[in-house]
Amino acid sequence: MTFVDDVRSMKIQSATTIAIRSLRHLKKSRNPRKEAEALLKARPTAVVLRNALGRAGKIGIDRTIAELEASRKKASKNFLAFISKRCRKKSLTVLTHCHSTLVVGDLTELKRKYRLHVIVTETRPRNQGLLTLRELSKKGIKATYIVDSAVAPFMKSADFVLAGADALRKEGVVNKIGTYPLAVFSKAMKKPFYIVSTSFTEDRRKNIMMEERPAAEVLRNRIRGVSVRNPAFDITPWKYVTACITDRGARK
């Protein structure tokens, strides 16, 4: 398999990780322009990658990677400061969806200050929550793994919900499918819903192509007369987001 295949098949995941590894790959590529176009087609909703490629065209790959890493560190610092001001108790329970290296990093830092328990959704159909679960386990963080439809009984014990973002747009937050209903449910149960991301996810374009993945991810054996839809992302309106914390600060 080629590097582009690894990105398309989601062997490489998490928006900033995809961008950084793609830039490093393109640095060694014999035809970087062609491969960059192929990467964008492979994950059309990958705004961080698109913005990083545009930035690299202006300041170079190495400086762009440095900016990506710096923005992630700054976002984490801002998030920890944000939570520290609002959570005075010694223990925290956080519910999270899908997989984000930024979210995992933030949870790891929270463990230094709080007795932390994380509730992780499976995140169908690719069960990306397993990636989060395994990384948290390696960090020694107590976690509970639940199916997506089980959030109701577990939301009661959560102090807040935390998710990453693939794009921050005027109409809302683009993230893994299932984020929107989770945010609606969080508001209904009066639980804060926080997004942590970086300025590289900001998307001011008029339109965004929402990726739809193969039907086989949902239904391996097709049934006659049955159509299958497998959208990879949804858009959560800002009214359901309590705060979005990036390297530029907190947006409410």
Q: Where along the chain do its domains lie? A: 3-66, 75-205+212-221+228-251
User: 202-231, pLDDT tens digit by residue?
Assistant: 999 999 999 999 999 999 999 999 999 999
- For the chain, the helix, strand and coil percentages under 3-state DSSP, each to the nearest 5: 50, 20, 35
- Count helices and strands (H / E) in the chain: 9, 10
Q: Is the pTM of this model over 0.85?
A: yes
Which among 174, 184, 193 has a CA at the least distance from the CA of 243?
193
20 pLDDT tier (thresholds 50, 70, 90): very high
Count CA atoms within 13 Å of residue 69 on its CB side. Answer: 9
252 pLDDT more than 90? no
Strand ranges (E), 77-232? 91-96, 115-121, 142-146, 160-163, 167-169, 172-176, 193-196
Instruction: Please give the mean pLDDT across all residues of the chain.
Output: 96
- Using DSSP bridges, classify how beta strands 172-176 and 160-163 pair: parallel, antiparallel or unpaired: unpaired
Cα–Cα distance for residue pair 137/139, rounded to 1 Å: 5
Active-site positions read: 98, 166
User: Average pLDDT of 60-78?
Assistant: 97
Q: Which residues pair with 202 in a beta bridge?
A: 168
User: Average pLDDT of 44-53?
Assistant: 95
User: What does the chain come to in residues?
Assistant: 252
Amino acid, res. 207? N
pLDDT at residue 118 in the model: 98
User: Average pLDDT of 95-112?
Assistant: 96
Q: Classify domain 75-205+212-221+228-251 by CATH number.
A: 3.40.50.10470
pLDDT at residue 81 in the model: 96
User: Average pLDDT of 142-158?
Assistant: 96
pLDDT at residue 79 in the model: 97
pLDDT at residue 11 in the model: 92
Which among 162, 100, 98, 163 has a CA at the least distance from the CA of 128?
98
User: 57-66, pLDDT tens digit by residue?
Assistant: 999 999 999 9
251 pLDDT more than 90? no
Q: Is the dihedral of CA 163, 168, 174, 178 positive or negative?
A: positive
